[in-house]
Amino acid sequence: MTRKPPDHRNLSLVVLISGNGSNLQSIIDATESGRLKARICAVISNEPDAYGLKRAEIHEIENQVIDHRSFTSRKAFDQALHRSIRSFEPDYLVLAGFMRILGSAFIQANVDKILNIHPSLLPAYKGLDTHQRVIENNETEHGVSIHLVTPELDGGPIIIQGRYPIDASDTLADLKRRGHQLEHRMYPLVLQWLSEGKLQIRDNSIVFEQHPLREPIEFENV
Ligand code: GAR
């Protein structure tokens, strides 16, 4: 199916969250300051108590709860989510701490459109509790990845990675704080690149500055 190319002057985004929404806040701040030429058409949470919904409300952004517990199957939840998203006709779906696994039918229906931020240097530490596992394994480095979502969990092409060293004395809270600091700079930047056309997503691959991206961009080199 061909879809209309995104309006690079002003992307429309739907942001999916499950919790605090600090990444959502960084995107809201970037749009409000004019650094990011994008409009958040809606924030959708699968968790009714997600603080990110409050953030959306404060900034007068349409927000909805689609509680996965109200559905008898994953498929039914995905279908309801898809119906709601379709009504906003967004250019991109931005997963910002969205903690539900999306089924492959949903992902296929939104091919080249879904971005996710994950708190590890993918492909290392897919899944949950990344900070805990990194500490348990005495890793000396950790980080954040932003990637395209494909049916393989946390396995789509990686756009950018930000990394930071770990000290033996670092706690979970230290890693979370440092990861978030990076995330809040990285996500708005990637969306800005998309809005400028510097970054493009085609046929499940990433094109950066007109060239196929063969390795993730290193945030510290940007
Ligand atoms: C972020 O650290 C994000 O990387 C992580 O959830 C956090 C949400 O924070 N995402 C995942 O673990 C996805 N597998 P936020 O709600 O404050 O933006």
Ordered structural domains, the chain, with CATH? 8-128+144-164+180-221 (3.40.50.170)
For 63-120, write each residue's pLDDT tens digit.
Answer: 999 999 999 999 999 999 999 999 999 999 999 999 999 999 999 999 999 999 999 9
**Six-digit token pair at 169?**
């004395």
- The closest of 99, 100, 153, 101 to 122, measured between CA atoms, is 153
Kindly give the pairing relationship between strand 141-148 and strand 114-118. antiparallel
Count other Cβ atoms within 10 Å, centred on residue 70.
12
- Tell me, yes or no, if the pTM score tops 0.75: yes
Ligand 1 centroid to Cα of residue 207, in Å, is: 25
Q: How many CA atoms lie within 13 A of 150 on its CB side?
A: 13
**Is the per-residue pLDDT at 170 higher than 60?**
yes
CA 169/CA 178 separation, integer angstroms = 14
Q: For residue 5, what pLDDT is reported?
A: 54
Note the pLDDT of residue 6. 56
How many Å lie between the centroid of ligand 1 and the Cα of residue 83? 24
162 close to ligand 1 (CB < 6 Angstrom): no
Q: Could you confirm whether 118 is annotated as catalytic?
A: yes
Ligand 1 atom closest to the Cα of residue 18 is: 16
**Ligand 1, atom 17: closest residue by C-alpha:** 22
Q: Six-digit token pair at 209?
A: 């500055």
Using only C-alpha atoms, the chain has a radius of gyration, in whole angstroms, of 17
* CB distance 179 to ligand 1 below 6 Å: yes
Residues 171, 179 contacting (CB under 8 angstroms): no
Q: What is the mean pLDDT of residues 189-198?
A: 97
pLDDT value for 10: 86
Instruction: Give me the pLDDT at residue 1, please.
Output: 45
pLDDT in tens, 20-72: 999 999 999 999 999 999 999 999 999 999 999 999 999 999 999 999 999 99
**The dihedral sign for the CA sequence 170, 96, 115, 111:** positive
